[in-house]
Amino acid sequence: MASSFSRFSQTLLLLVVFWGITSSSNAQLSTDYYSKSCPNLFSTVKFTVHSAIMKEARMGASLLRLFFHDCFVNGCDGSLLLDDTSSFTGEKNAVPNRNSARGFDVIDDIKSAVENVCPGVVSCADILAIAARDSVKILGGPNWDVKLGRRDARSASQAAANNGIPAPTSNLNRLISRFNALGLSTRDLVALSGAHTIGQARCTSFRAHIYNESNIDLSFAKTKQSNCPRSSGSGDNNLSPLDIQTPTYFDNKYFNNLIGKRGVLHSDQELFNGGSTDSIVRAYSKNPSSFSSDFVTAMIKMGDISPLTGSKGEIRKNCRRVN
């Protein structure tokens, strides 16, 4: 009798473990998550993203950056999109995002369009992921199948945003450490930094690099100084392309710039400054297909950071506030 009960207990335990594994796997992200519930999702998102980029090419980089800044703060959960409320201070006014993160109105437009074709189905977190992919593709970069199934957070954290997003003043060790903490390798770091082949930076984020540092081409520094005064408070919001060669086209020119000591941000030039990432930068500068492949791999990995799935979180009706 005892033996039979023991065998029954073991069988029950195995069933529980198996159920747990399958339940966990069912909650994972997949590329066909909305194939039945929202079959027109991709075309709907792409139309709005394309329209926004045609109006302003910089918007593609801004949408890509929103996804990065969302995923690096408690995972890819759409928390960045929440406006401040009386109960919590959100991430939009954190140091890395204040007067810097942009494109929220485009995300609103995408969400509105998606709600029209499949109301209450698609999360804002997933919309960020698709918009980032579409932005890269539209600006000449690689394409990939986006993994979906994320749900939206019901809260946000300004403190987590201040601590979680690497600053443009970060040194290489800090960059590697932060990326590694999120399951991203050093190669992922360099590949994802290649997103700076598009977009622009504010004077406040690169002033110290062009005036106070030596690992920068002198003529390049002087050119940047002409549009970014030394004194703080003067021209703080003046912009510079992050890639001086092809600022609105997604390619590997960013890495050529680093080799020529023409990285706009301190954190950019840290990737090619006699350290462990020099060889990766050189490789990407010579082989654009290698960069594209690694960028896709890194973007998919980044999109896997701590998503809310299953019954966690919610599907927001409005990306700026919880339901």
Name residues whose C-beta falls within 8 Å of residue 171's C-beta, 6 or more positions apart in sequence.
Answer: 267, 270
- Per-residue model confidence (pLDDT) at position 25: 36
Annotation-wise, does 297 bind a ligand?
no
Instruction: Note the pLDDT tens digit of each residue in 209-268.
Output: 999 999 999 999 999 999 999 999 999 999 999 999 999 999 999 999 999 999 999 999
Instruction: Give the CA angle between residues 251, 252, 257 to the nearest 5°.
Output: 125
Distances (CA, A) of 256 to 141, 154, 176, 268: 17, 42, 21, 12
**What pLDDT score does 267 carry?**
98
Residue 23 has pLDDT above 60, yes or no: no
Q: What is the pLDDT of residue 1?
A: 45
pTM, 2 dp? 0.91
* 172-301: CATH number: 1.10.420.10
Q: Is 279 annotated as a binding residue?
A: no
Tell me: pLDDT of 7 over 70: no
Residue 241 β-bridge partners: 200
Say what the pLDDT of residue 87 is: 84
Adjacent-strand bridge partners of 201? 240
196 is an annotated ligand-binding site residue: yes
Q: Is 278 annotated as a binding residue?
A: no
For the chain, give the percent of residues with pLDDT over 70: 92
Per-residue confidence at 88, pLDDT binned at 50, 70, 90? confident
CATH of domain 40-165: 1.10.520.10
Query: Which carries the bigger pLDDT value, residue 301 or residue 3?
Result: 301
70 is in an annotated binding site: yes
What does the alpha-carbon distance between residue 242 and residue 58 come to, in Å, rounded to a whole number? 11
Higher pLDDT, 76 or 16: 76
Residue 197 assigned ligand-binding role:
yes
pLDDT at 90: 93
Residue 73 annotated in ligand binding: yes
Q: What's the pLDDT score for residue 27?
A: 57
Cβ distance 148 to 74 under 8 Å?
Answer: no
Q: Which residues are catalytic?
A: 69
CA–CA distance from 178 to each of 144, 258, 310 (Å)? Answer: 25, 21, 28
Domain boundaries, the chain: 40-165, 172-301
